[in-house]
Structures are given as structure tokens and as C-alpha cells.
């Protein structure tokens, strides 16, 4: 299952990287930077889900493991209601704003805001609700197929950018959202009606909001990073950073594909009373050995050929060569932070919060010192991120050693 999912994501990632090269080749850095400004805004708007999908992601497989299907379906119904209502309200507001700028003939801004509308729907309803419903071996395989098909459409649709430039980039973003939603909806494994249950919502909020707060220290880290680049170095630098950002995302696809399969599997094992060490040895060791062995080979080769590739194919982005090389090291090391899944399994969010805050603190110190010395540059950002990742990894290793024998019964 993990091999199939990882292989599908490797294929999808390959297409994404190739498509990304065409995108940056056809667009100037300031054009990409302007478009990425809208995706940065979307990243903050999606936070409106306030953790309800996070609780569903944790408790749905847990309840399935305990054979409590009725309660699991109630969680899915209430989560569906919340995700639909929130994304629809935000979408309607966005459409009205987009129409206003359309009438004032600011077509680029109108297009960008419509992209925010589409990507908000994808972020809240598709990613945070529909894809959480894919919880079994068969379901994960379907989700992997969805990923492949979406990546194929994403690759084909880069022709729109060649034809229409910035507007083609916006149109492509909307097409990807539509295809992702259609496929994920068609194969959804759990079909429930929307239901507003105040008690269920409250329980979801109590579980999900603390995890939501801690999660976003990590998941929104790249968003804050891009925001700082925009504020400190400008739109052009944000566009240049797209190359390094693509490299970082390439590594995250591997870790995300693993965690999307491992996390519900861990929760099922945890619901059965297994200890942390038992779950780790049974499910974590083999896939991590395979993934890390692969990147021990890939990373040095990519570092060596990076200058040649960028100079030859992306001559407008040569200023980001060194930054991209450092992002290779940062991304490879970041794979180790998948061990942090166990904070959610045991549900010790305060310790997880300390781990993330420590990493963010290390990252912040590097940036603050660089800014104070007036040496802030794009290259500093992956170096600062690497510092944060290293701090988080060592704290997590200590946490795992302390809780190796912990079971569900131990903490109750």
C-alpha cells in the first residue's frame, strides 16, 4: 500500500516538477511573484476551518478501529456541513469582490481573487474534508489514482500558460481545482448527508482546535516564509523563490504520502492497545529506510547538476541557484520530521507545541540575526529552515525514547 501510494506520488511529483519548469520558463519572476501573492492570501483564508477537519482526520480511523461506525459517520456528517458552509460563504464573498474588480476593469486582480475562491474551496472542502474520508487500503489506492490523474491534467494544462500568460496560470489553477474535486467526490468512500449536530461539533472542536493550532505552526511555516520574502525582498524575489519552493514541495510529497497512509494506520493500532514502540517497528522502519536511501543518492546528484539545469533551462532564475541547492539539503533532512506523527497518536499537543516552537525559534533567530547584520537574502531562508528542522528532529527523538512503551491504557 505504501509502495503503491509513494510510487503514484513520485510519478505525480515528477510531472509537477516538469510542469513547474515550464511555468517558470514561460513567466518572468515578477509575474510568478504576483500570482503567488494570491496563493499566499489563500493559505491564510483556509485557516477558517478552525480544526474541525483535523479532528475528523484523527478520530475517524480511531473509531473505525474500535468498530464504532455510527459515531464515525456522525463525525463525517457534521464535518461535511461545516466544510461546505464555511467554504461556500468565503466563496460567495470572493466572487462578489472579483466581480467588482472585473467591472472596474482590473482584470488581473479580478482573476487572482477568483483563484483564491477556487483554491479556498479545494483547501477546505476537498483536501480537508473529502480526502480525509479515504481511510482504508483500497481507499488510499484510489486517492493515489486521483493524485496521478490530477497531475496529468495539471501537466497538460500548462499549455494555457503558454497561450495566455498570467491569465492562463489563473485558468489552469481553476481547472486543477475542478478536476481534483470531481474525482475525489466521485470515488469518495463514505457518503453521508450534511448534518448539524451541536454536541458533535463541540467534540470535534475540542479535539481539533488544539491540534489545529499546533499543526499550523508547521504546515503554515512555508506560508509565513513566503510572506516574509514578499515583505522583505519584494514580489520579484517571491517569484524567484518559486524554484526553491518547488524543490521543497517535492520532498514534502514523499513525507505527506507516507504520513497520509501511516497516520490512520497508527491510530487503528493505537485503538487496539499497541505500544508506540510496537507501532513504530511494525510500520515505520521499512518505508523510512527505503525513502532515506533513495534521497541519499538523489540529493548529491541534484546539488551537482542544479546550476547547469537552471542556467540552461531557466536563465531568468539564475539568482536562485544557491538557494535551490540549500533547499535540497533542507528538504531531505525534513523527511525525518515524519516521526512527529506520534505526538498526534498519543495526543500530547503541549509537547508537540514545544517541539514546533523550538524549531520556529531556531529559524527565527537565524533570520533575525541575518536581518540585523543586513545580510538577509533568499539563501538565508532554507538555511534557517534547516536549523529549525534539526532542532525539531532531536526533540522528537528524545520524545520517542521517553514514550517507547506508552500505550493507550498507560495515559488513561
Q: From 156, 173, 201, give the residue that closes a domain.
A: 201
104 contact partners, CB below 8 Å, separation of at least 6: none
> Same structural domain for residues 153 and 289?
no
> Same structural domain for residues 4 and 136?
yes
Domain residues for the domain of 179 are: 1-201
Whether residue 110 contacts residue 101, with contact meaning beta carbons closer than 8 Å, is answered with yes
pLDDT at 84: 94
> Same structural domain for residues 230 and 164?
no
- Establish if 105 belongs to a structural domain: yes
- Span 232-258, mean pLDDT? 85
- Is the confidence at residue 1, as pLDDT, over 70? no
pLDDT at 195: 87
- Establish if 250 belongs to a structural domain: yes
Number of Cβ within 10 Å of residue 186's Cβ equals 9
* Long-range interactions of 277-283: CB distance < 8 A, separation 24+: 277/404, 277/405, 279/342, 279/345, 280/342, 280/400, 280/404
Number of Cβ within 10 Å of residue 409's Cβ equals 8
> Same structural domain for residues 151 and 224?
no
Q: What is the pLDDT of residues 289-308, one digit of tens each?
A: 877 787 788 889 989 999 99
Considering only CA atoms, give the Rg of the chain. 21
> Same structural domain for residues 181 and 261?
no
Residue carrying the nine cell digits 466572487: 95
Burial 365-390 (b: 16+ CB within 10 A, else e): ebbeebeeeeebebbbbbbbbbbbbb
How far is it, in rounded angstroms, from Cα 377 to Cα 368?
A: 12
How far is it, in rounded angstroms, from Cα 159 to Cα 165?
A: 10
Q: What is the pLDDT of residues 356-386, one digit of tens each?
A: 899 999 999 999 999 999 889 999 999 999 9
Flag whether the pTM goes above 0.85: no
> Same structural domain for residues 144 and 245?
no
Instruction: Write the DSSP symbol of residue 403.
Output: T
> Same structural domain for residues 40 and 163?
yes
- Establish if 214 belongs to a structural domain: no
- Establish if 210 belongs to a structural domain: no
Helix or strand or coil: residue 193? coil
Nearest Cα to Cα of residue 271 among 124, 30, 68, 46: 68
Q: What is the pLDDT of residues 86-125, one digit of tens each?
A: 999 999 999 999 999 999 999 999 999 999 999 999 999 9
- Span 26-53, mean pLDDT? 90
What mean pLDDT value characterizes the chain? Answer: 87
How far is it, in rounded angstroms, from Cα 342 to Cα 139?
A: 23
Domains identified in the chain, total number: 2
> Same structural domain for residues 88 and 236?
no
Whether residue 24 contacts residue 318, with contact meaning beta carbons closer than 8 Å, is answered with no
> What is the band of 7 on the pLDDT scale with cuts at 50, 70, 90?
low
- Is the confidence at residue 255, as pLDDT, over 70? yes
- Is the confidence at residue 6, as pLDDT, over 70? no
Q: Residues in the chain, how many?
A: 412
> What is the band of 9 on the pLDDT scale with cuts at 50, 70, 90?
low
Whether residue 262 contacts residue 2, with contact meaning beta carbons closer than 8 Å, is answered with yes
Q: From 151, 174, 201, give the residue that closes a domain.
A: 201
Residue 14's Cα: distance from chain center in Å? 17
> Same structural domain for residues 135 and 235?
no
- Establish if 32 belongs to a structural domain: yes
Residue 31's Cα: distance from chain center in Å? 23
- Establish if 213 belongs to a structural domain: no
Whether residue 284 contacts residue 262, with contact meaning beta carbons closer than 8 Å, is answered with yes
Residue carrying the nine cell digits 511573484: 33
How far is it, in rounded angstroms, from Cα 117 to Cα 264?
A: 30
Q: From 173, 201, 229, give the residue that closes a domain.
A: 201
How far is it, in rounded angstroms, from Cα 125 to Cα 341?
A: 23
For 59-125, give the DSSP string: HHHHHHHTT-HHHHHHHHHHHHHHHHHHHHHHHHHHHHHHHHHHHTT-HHHHHHHHHHHHHHHIIII
How far is it, in rounded angstroms, from Cα 189 to Cα 136?
A: 9
Residue carrying the nine cell digits 533547499: 327
- Is the confidence at residue 397, as pLDDT, over 60? yes
> Same structural domain for residues 233 and 334?
yes
- Is the confidence at residue 5, as pLDDT, over 70? no
Helix or strand or coil: residue 272? coil
- Establish if 212 belongs to a structural domain: no
- Establish if 207 belongs to a structural domain: no
> Same structural domain for residues 253 and 196?
no
> What percent of the chain is predicted at pLDDT more than 70?
96
Whether residue 243 contacts residue 313, with contact meaning beta carbons closer than 8 Å, is answered with no
> Same structural domain for residues 347 and 289?
yes
Amino acid at each position: 500500500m505504501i509502495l503503491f501510494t509513494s510510487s503514484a506520488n513520485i510519478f505525480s511529483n515528477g510531472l509537477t516538477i516538469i510542469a513547474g519548469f515550464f511555468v517558470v520558463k514561460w513567466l518572468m519572476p515578477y509575474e510568478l511573484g504576483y500570482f503567488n501573492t494570491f496563493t499566499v492570501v489563500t493559505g491564510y483564508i483556509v485557516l477558517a476551518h478552525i480544526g474541525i477537519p483535523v479532528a475528523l482526520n484523527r478520530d475517524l480511523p480511531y473509531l473505525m478501529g474500535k468498530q464504532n461506525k455510527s459515531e464515525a459517520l456522525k463525525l463525517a456528517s457534521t464535518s461535511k456541513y461545516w466544510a461546505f458552509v464555511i467554504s461556500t460563504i468565503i466563496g460567495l464573498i470572493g466572487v462578489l469582490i472579483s466581480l467588482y474588480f472585473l467591472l472596474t476593469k482590473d482584470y488581473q486582480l479580478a482573476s487572482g481573487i477568483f483563484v483564491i475562491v477556487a483554491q479556498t474551496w479545494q483547501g477546505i472542502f476537498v483536501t480537508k474534508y473529502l480526502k480525509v474520508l479515504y481511510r482504508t487500503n483500497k481507499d488510499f489506492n484510489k486517492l493515489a489514482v486521483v493524485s496521478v490523474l490530477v497531475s496529468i491534467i495539471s501537466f497538460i494544462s500548462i499549455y494555457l500558460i503558454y497561450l495566455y500568460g498570467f491569465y492562463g496560470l489563473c485558468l489552469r489553477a481553476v481547472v486543477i481545482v475542478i478536476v481534483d474535486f470531481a474525482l475525489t467526490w466521485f470515488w469518495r468512500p463514505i457518503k453521508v448527508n450534511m448534518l448539524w449536530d451541536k454536541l458533535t461539533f463541540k467534540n470535534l472542536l475540542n479535539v481539533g482546535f488544539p491540534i489545529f493550532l499546533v499543526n499550523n505552526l508547521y504546515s503554515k511555516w512555508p506560508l509565513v516564509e513566503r510572506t516574509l520574502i514578499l515583505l522583505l525582498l519584494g514580489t520579484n524575489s517571491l517569484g524567484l523563490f518559486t524554484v526553491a519552493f518547488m524543490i521543497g514541495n517535492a520532498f514534502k510529497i514523499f513525507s505527506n504520502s507516507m504520513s497520509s497512509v501511516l497516520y490512520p494506520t497508527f491510530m487503528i493500532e493505537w485503538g487496539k492497545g499497541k505500544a508506540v514502540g510496537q507501532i513504530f517497528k511494525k510500520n515505520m522502519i521499512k518505508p523510512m529506510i527505503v525513502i532515506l536511501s533513495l534521497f541519499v543518492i538523489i540529493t548529491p546528484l541534484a546539488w551537482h547538476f542544479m546550476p547547469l539545469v537552471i542556467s540552461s533551462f531557466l536563465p531568468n532564475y539564475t539568482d536562485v541557484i544557491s538557494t535551490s541547492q540549500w533547499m535540497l539539503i533542507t528538504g531531505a533532512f525534513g523527511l525525518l520530521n515524519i516521526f512527529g506523527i506520534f505526538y498526534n497518536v498519543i495526543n500530547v499537543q503541549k509537547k508537540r507545541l514545544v517541539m514546533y516552537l523550538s524549531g520556529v525559534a531556531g529559524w527565527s533567530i537565524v533570520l533575525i540575526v541575518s536581518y540585523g547584520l543586513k545580510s538577509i537574502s533568499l539563501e538565508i531562508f532554507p538555511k534557517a529552515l534547516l536549523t529549525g528542522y534539526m532542532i525539531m528532529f532531536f526533540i522528537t527523538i528524545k520524545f520517542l525514547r521517553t514514550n517507547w512503551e506508552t500505550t493507550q491504557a498507560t495515559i488513561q
